[in-house]
Amino acid sequence: MRAAFPEFRLGNVLATSFTGTLSERHGNAVERIPTPQRLMDWLTVNGLAVDSCTAAQLDLARELRESIHAAATAAAVQDALPASAVHVLNDCSAQGRAAAILTPQGKRQWRLGSASCVEDALSVIAADAISIIAGERDGKLALCASPTCRAAFFDTSQSRTRKWCDMNTCGNRQKKARFNANQRKNPSPAE
Ligand SMILES: [Zn+2]
C-alpha cells in the first residue's frame, strides 16, 4: 500500500526538493524514498520518469542526495565545499545523458538518454544543484531555522529573508511552538 510511505515535499527547486526527500536530519529523520519504487515515484512527479530502479541505483541516488546536502550546506554558510561531495556531484553530472527539450507550448522538459536509466535522471538533479551552488541562479542558499531540520534551501524571496525550508512544515511547527510558549507565559483565566 503506497499510502504507508511518507509523502513527498514538493518545492520549486529540483535539487533542494531532492535533498528534502530526507527530512528532519537532526531530529527523527524521515526517509521519503525508502524503496526503489518510491524513488521512481519521486522522479515521475518531477518530470524525470524512469522505467526501473535497482537497489544499487537507489543507493547512488541517496549518495548524490547527501552530497548535494553537504555541498549546499557548506555553500550556505560560506564554508569550503567538501571535496568528496563535489566529487560525487561531478560524477553524477557527467555520467548521465539527458537533453533539454522545448515543448510546442514553450515549456522545458527533460528527455533522458534511456528510459531505464536512473543515472540520466540523477545527472539532471546534479546539474541543477551545481547551478545553485555555483551562484548562477537568482536566489540564495540558506539553512532552515528549525534545529531538527537545518535543511539547505534556495531562498528566492525578494528580501532573501526566508527562515524555513518549508512554510507548511518547519515554519508552521515553529509558529505553533511560539504560540504554545506564549500560552504558558500568559495562561488565560479559564486555565
Ligand atoms: Zn526545515
What are the residue boundaries of the structural domains of the chain, listed by start? 2-139
Q: What is the CA radius of gyration of the chain?
A: 18
Q: For ligand 1, a single-atom ion, which residues have Cβ within 5 Å? A: 144, 146, 149, 151, 165, 170
Encode pLDDT of 68-121 as tens digits: 999 999 999 999 999 999 999 999 999 999 999 999 999 999 999 987 799 999
For residue 16, report the distance from its CA to the centre of ligand 1, in Å.
11
Class of domain 2-139: mainly alpha
The closest alpha carbon to 152, from 5, 10, 25, belongs to: 25
Q: How far apart are CA 98 and CA 75, in angstroms?
A: 26
Q: How confident is the model at residue 189 (pLDDT cuts 50, 70, 90)?
A: low
Encode pLDDT of 15-64 as tens digits: 999 999 999 999 999 999 999 999 999 999 999 999 999 999 999 999 99
The closest alpha carbon to 143, from 128, 121, 124, 165, belongs to: 165
For residue 145, report the distance from its CA to the centre of ligand 1, in Å.
7
